[in-house]
Amino acid sequence: MNGSRRLSSQEIADILRERIRAGDLKAGDRLPTQAELADEFGVERGTVRQALRALQEDGLLTNVSKGSPPRIAEPATPPGEPQPTMVALGPRLSEAFSAPHVRVDVVCHTSETLMLALSEPLRLIHEGRIRPESIDFRVLMPSRDIELAFPVLVDEEEDDPVHQRWLQMRNAQARVLQHNLHAVRSTHRIDVHIAFRAIPFTSPMKLYLLNGEEALLGYYMLTRREEEYESRTLEMYDALGSQSLLFSFLKRAGHRDAVFVEESQKWFDALWETITSDMTLS
């Protein structure tokens, strides 16, 4: 594209934006380096940097100015249109994992949704499409010793099988999550840390904090349902976490969102520090 007139940063941004719209560049793809783009368009690197910053502000790029070529971002959820947890969490985790140092803080009832959503960024790591230097997970879930607000039997019994079923699920899913992250550490030599701590209450909501830049908040939806467990049918009040609507708050979206992310992170950090020992998964 070299010629007598050099392209402006806006024109370069428009060309790259059209490549993304047309599907020539897809979510997760790396852009060429700034040097390669400068050579392609016949401009200085400063002009390329301005174009990339414009695309980042539009939410089309991630990992800009972090020492490696930026990536095409996952399509963002339109404002005012929260999505079910299972739909929304995977793409947001994948984008968070494009950072060199990944930090994920979670408050949840079990780690089932998190475990399933994590399969996408882990797949990208195994394929060599992303490679963070470190991954740090902190997960808060209800203590085994408290009386849960949910799930609970419709008709109370002295020996509560619903609580036992929940505890088995909590521990089994957490162990799978732990195993999958440790597998990344052993096969790709990524510095991985994951810790679980038990909170003395049933949280009415799930919260995901991604790299201190985004907060995803969803309230549990309670329902009355039946479930088979150890050769009997349990009628219970339970929460369907995967169907909870997740509301996204991005630091870069403006003052209100930035305050919510910062205060949520402070709340999580304070709660984490009040608990002195890690949760046992047995």
CATH number at residue 43: 1.10.10.10
Residue 3 lies in a domain: no
pLDDT value of position 154? 92
Assess whether 32 and 102 both reside in one domain: no
d(CA 63, CA 126): 19
Q: Do the bridges between strand 214-219 and strand 205-210 make them parallel or antiparallel, or are there none, so unpaired?
A: antiparallel
The fraction of the chain above a pLDDT of 90, given in percent, is 47
Residue 77 lies in a domain: no
What are the structure tokens assigned to 195, written together?
Answer: 């810790």
More confident position, 91 or 272: 272
pTM: 0.71
Host domain of residue 157: 83-278
Assess whether 179 and 228 both reside in one domain: yes
Quick one: average pLDDT of 208-228?
A: 92
pLDDT value of position 230? 86
Assess whether 94 and 62 both reside in one domain: no
Q: Do the bridges between strand 205-210 and strand 191-199 make them parallel or antiparallel, or are there none, so unpaired?
A: unpaired
Residue at which a domain ends, from 52, 72, 92: 72
Residue 18 lies in a domain: yes
Most confident of 159-168, 205-214, 236-245, 253-262: 205-214
Residue at which a domain ends, from 29, 52, 72: 72
Residue 1 lies in a domain: no
pLDDT value of position 66? 55
What are the structure tokens assigned to 140, written together?
Answer: 């808060």
d(CA 247, CA 218): 6
| pLDDT at residue 129 is higher than 80 | yes
pLDDT in tens, 220-275: 988 998 888 888 899 999 987 777 888 989 888 888 899 999 999 999 999 999 99
pLDDT value of position 19? 85
Nearest to 248 by CA among 30, 59, 25: 59
Quick one: average pLDDT of 82-90?
A: 70
d(CA 268, CA 207): 9
Assess whether 215 and 267 both reside in one domain: yes
The CATH number assigned to the domain holding 111 equals 3.30.870
Residue 149 lies in a domain: yes
d(CA 114, CA 60): 25
- Count of domains observed in the chain: 2
Residue with tokens 């392609």: 40
pLDDT in tens, 5-39: 788 888 898 889 888 877 788 888 888 888 899 99
Q: Do the bridges between strand 83-84 and strand 134-142 make them parallel or antiparallel, or are there none, so unpaired?
A: unpaired
Phi, psi of 256 (to 5 degrees): -60, -50
Assess whether 93 and 32 both reside in one domain: no
d(CA 202, CA 204): 6
Assess whether 100 and 193 both reside in one domain: yes
Q: How confident is the model at residue 282 (pLDDT cuts 50, 70, 90)?
A: confident
Residue 216 lies in a domain: yes
Residue at which a domain ends, from 72, 106, 124: 72
pLDDT in tens, 40-69: 999 998 898 888 888 887 778 876 655 677
Residue 2 lies in a domain: no
Assess whether 20 and 153 both reside in one domain: no
Assess whether 176 and 267 both reside in one domain: yes
Quick one: average pLDDT of 159-182?
A: 93
Q: How confident is the model at residue 2 (pLDDT cuts 50, 70, 90)?
A: very low
pLDDT value of position 89? 87
Residue 6 per-residue DSSP state: P
Assess whether 180 and 255 both reside in one domain: yes
Assess whether 65 and 156 both reside in one domain: no
pLDDT value of position 57? 74
d(CA 259, CA 254): 9
Assess whether 68 and 124 both reside in one domain: no
Assess whether 112 and 248 both reside in one domain: yes
Q: Is residue 182 helix, strand or coil?
A: helix
